[in-house]
A and B are shown apart, each in its own frame.
Chain A
Amino acid sequence: MIRTEELLLNVGPQHPSTHGVFRIVVKLDGEVITEATPVMGYLHRGTEKLAEQLNYTQIIPYTDRMDYVSAMTNNYVLVHAVETMMGLEVPERAEFMRLIVMELQRVASHLVWWGTYLLDIGAMSPFLYAFRDRETIINLFNELCGARLTYNYMRVGGVKWDAPPGWIDKVSEFIPYMEGKLREYDKLVSGNEIFLARIKGIGKYDAATAIDYGLSGANLRCTGVDWDLRKAEPYSLYSRFEFDVPLGQNGDCYDRYRIRLEEISQSLRILKQAIAQFPSGGETMGKVPRAIRPPAGEVYTRIESPRGEIGCHIVSKGKAEPYRLKFRRPSFVNLQILPKLLIGETMTNLITILGGVDIVVGEVDC
């Protein structure tokens, strides 16, 4: 007699495609998943507990390490929250530097996502092309603030470094180069029949589910919901620039893929406008009191990081350290839909769906 059993498989913490130390315990019936339970916490470093003993400038290097692929947006959410609480004004040149840096970071983060997603699916060349282009952006950041990944660039009231001479010209040379590369990447991948067969129709969900699960970023916009924090709740200088927000219709992995690639070209468009309007002089730091002590109260600010809505909830008692600092991390919230999406899928589609959600485990665990 042949007897079939369910197999309990551990897509373990050490796995090349889980984008970090992340574990999924999967119950398989043949090759079809019947239940999937994500297990996380392998990268939990207690940032929120540590933050209760550090003052705000000291927490900025810690925020770099949460979503390490997109560190500038992490810096910004903390600094923006403190500035909102204290009512500080940031000089225009500093705000422009912040915006340029955040949009470059968005391009770099989406390139990492693109390269690693295609590597998970099986294509080897796009990974190296993406990292070659990301190297240009990383070198620009290296010249600007002295580090390639953990920048520690923004400060409460402004930014630390001004652009070195020639830096803005290098950024404006990068933009047409990247636009040409995007066309090449389109030719390379987007028409590929094998790729389309693997991506189209996988991991579908509708708008009501997406809103209920609190998804954000490309995961929400692939269902057609027009919610981009740069347009809906504008922060920094985004209201001055013209750009479109790409939307999908079907809510599957292919729509998410197309939206992220389109977001790269929209970011390049914002960069072009920002460089054209860049002020020629100005301070990089506003008027900041010597000791940064926000008044007692609480605040929740949020910005659009490449992964979705990143938020910072600070409860302050008027001291130099926060009383409670909580980060709303997009990868953590976006991952909740994974157990629901995986039921009935095959093992190969697990990797496709997981890659499409675009998580960074440093952010899932904080």
Chain B
Amino acid sequence: MSEEEKKEPQESGTAEAGEQAKQKTAEAEADPEKAAKLKAAAEARAARAAAKAAAEAAEAAEASAPPAPSPKQPELDAAAALIRREVADEALEEVYINELNGHMPTIIVKNDYWRSIAELLKIENDLTYLRNVSGVDYETHLEVVYHLVSLQSGRELTVKVKADREKPEVSSATPVWATANWNEREIYDLLGIVFTGHPDLRRIMMPDDWVGHPLRKDYEPLDSEV
């Protein structure tokens, strides 16, 4: 992945260098030595560009072949099938493998079914340990991410629930996993997502009479230097 990024600055570098080279050839026509050097440099650049084009063609050929299936794909399919069977067919919005994160199976569920899916995952699928609950503010919507793990088998699953920006509501997972209690309070405090069914939803980090939700992207701080 880092190699692809390195290629981008090189491309722009060669474009700029090309323009500079045109200027220099105009100046250097008077000077034959300089002209020879510039010619050599231009040839080297052409050779590099040709090599790069060949490499890119090879990569494109590789990429067009289908990527190897992820090793965690069967786990993901089993979990998705379980949810579709027990809860509802349309409960799952999206199912994919997050390759960046060590091939973590990820599912996106609809909020209406989240509570029943949570109970299902804990009891049937043995995902008893909720590691982390994070809230993310994408500018179009808000999202809550739950990271689950099974202590017996080491299996992992990430569940995401989307929420509207105007009236963000997500069913609370606290009745299922008690550890979600303070995590969800923190997300309510900092992002403003209301968790329906939470036993005690109030601010945890900010003072109780604070107005606004600091972690949102459109938050205006009281003190502009902060």
- Mark A residues whose CB is within 8 Å of B: 40-41, 44, 46, 48-49, 84-88, 211-215, 225, 227, 232-233, 287, 289, 293-295, 297-302, 309, 311, 313, 315, 323-324, 326, 328, 332-333, 335-336, 365
Contact = CB atoms under 8 A, between A and B. Distances in A.
A312 to B, nearest CB: 10
A315 B205 contact: no
7 contacts: A85-B100, A87-B2, A211-B128, A214-B178, A214-B179, A227-B151, A311-B131
Contacts of A302: 131-132
Nearest to A39: B204
B40 interface: no
A119 to B, nearest CB: 28
A262 to B, nearest CB: 21
Interface residues of B, number: 39
Question: Most A CB atoms within 10 A — which of B2, B6, B158, B203?
Answer: B2
A222 B106 CA distance: 32
Given A41-B204, A313-B145, A297 B128 contact: no
Chain A: interface secondary structure?
A: mixed
Contact of B151 (A211, A299, A326): A211
Contacts of B147: 300, 311, 313
A364 to B, nearest CB: 9
A233 B101 CA distance: 13
Given A214-B177, A326-B132, 16 more contacts: A40-B204, A40-B205, A84-B101, A211-B128, A225-B151, A295-B1, A297-B100, A297-B101, A299-B100, A300-B158, A313-B132, A313-B147, A323-B136, A326-B134, A333-B179, A333-B183
A230 to B, nearest CB: 14
A323 to B, nearest CB: 8
Interface of B: 1-2, 5-6, 98, 100-102, 104, 128-132, 134-137, 145, 147, 151, 154, 158, 177-179, 181-183, 186, 190, 203-207, 214-215, 226
Please name the 6 residue pairs, one residue from A and one from B, whose CB atoms are nearest each other, closest first: A214-B179, A41-B205, A328-B132, A297-B100, A326-B134, A299-B101
Given A86-B1, A289-B5, A313-B132, A48 B215 contact: yes
Contacts of B6: 289
B214 A336 contact: no
A298 B186 CA distance: 20
A363 B15 CA distance: 49
B108 to A, nearest CB: 12
Contact of B100 (A225, A298, A336): A298
